Structure 1
Amino acid sequence: MEANSREELIKQLKDTQMEVEKLLFSIKQNSTQGRDYFVMAGDQLADQLFNLRTNKDVKINSLRSKATDLLKRKDKFFKDYDVFRNDPTGFNKRHEAESAKVEKRGGARKGAGRKSLGIKKPVTITLPQERWDAIDALIKNGKFKSYPDYFRHLDSKD
């Protein structure tokens, strides 16, 4: 980025915000497919530019970094819109495919998921049928959530 001073950065952000808002106005006038995507993305970008421009306590290095990131996002936004204007159907298909990829992310990660209550050991317990019926009744009535909950309760009495 060429800007060196805070004032130059703020002017560049203001000019960029104006460009984004002009494009947004034109997008809002156009009722073709994909309009909602560009309206949402453009509104978000304009808000972020305004927030950064009006934030007085951001240090100059941080301002440069955030401004550079937002200006790159603005360039991508304008390029995407040019692609959309030339081929709305193709753009929408590619955008939907990219969105579907994001939803499939995730999977096993260290520290993720429900924390264990302890060490798991499989156990077989033999009880008379009437005792099992009584335990089932306690679970059905909501006193216990499950067999493990019932046996944990018995263990906690010690």
Structure 2
Amino acid sequence: MTDDNIKVGISNKEGQLGFLFTKGGLREGAGRKSIGVTKKVSLTLTEEMWEQFDKHCAELELSKSEAIRTMMEQYFSSR
């Protein structure tokens, strides 16, 4: 890809910058739809727990976010 194939433009969202390619561009409503509010957290577990969690995610073909979200949804729906 050459430099003349990329432009920087301002999207419709709060003046954020975005990269525009020669085809397509920034479009309102484009991309993956949000399922909620994103908040970053830090989680400390033992090595053994991380290994179990990674194995669980791999077996079910889930991202870590999907696995944690599923666990939390199950926990709160059973209360």
Could you tell me the TM-score, scaled by structure 2's length?
Answer: 0.62
The root-mean-square deviation of aligned C-alpha atoms, in Å, is: 1.9
Offset, 1:116:
1.0
Is it true that 1:121 corresponds to 2:39 in the alignment?
yes
The answer for unaligned runs of 5 or more in structure 2 is 1-20
Aligned pair 1:145/2:66, yes or no? no
Shift of 1:144: 4.2
Partner of residue 22 from structure 2, selected from 89, 92, 104: 104
1:135 corresponds, among 40, 53, 72, to 53
CA distance in 2, matches of 1:145, 1:154: 12
Separation in structure 2 between the aligned mates of residue 135 and residue 109 of structure 1, nearest angstrom: 37
Q: What percentage of aligned pairs have identical amino acids?
A: 35
CA-to-aligned-CA distance 1:14-46 (integer Å, 9 cap, x gap): xxxxxxxxxxxxxxxxxxxxxxxxxxxxxxxxx
Partners in 2 of 1:150 and 1:144 — Cα distance?
Answer: 9
Runs of 4+ in 1 over 4 A off after TM superposition: none
Counting matched residue pairs gives 56
Higher strand share: 2
Give the structure with the higher percent helix.
Answer: 1
Separation (CA, whole Å) in 2 of partners of 1:146 and 1:131 = 16
CA distance in 2, matches of 1:113, 1:144: 22
Quick one: distance in 1 between partners of 2:24 and 2:61? Answer: 33
Q: CA deviation at 1:110?
A: 0.7
Which residues of 2 match residues 40-79 of structure 1 at below 5 A? none
Where structure 1 has 5 or more consecutive residues not aligned to the other structure, the ranges are: 1-102
The residue number in structure 2 matching 1:97 is: none
Shift of 1:137: 0.6
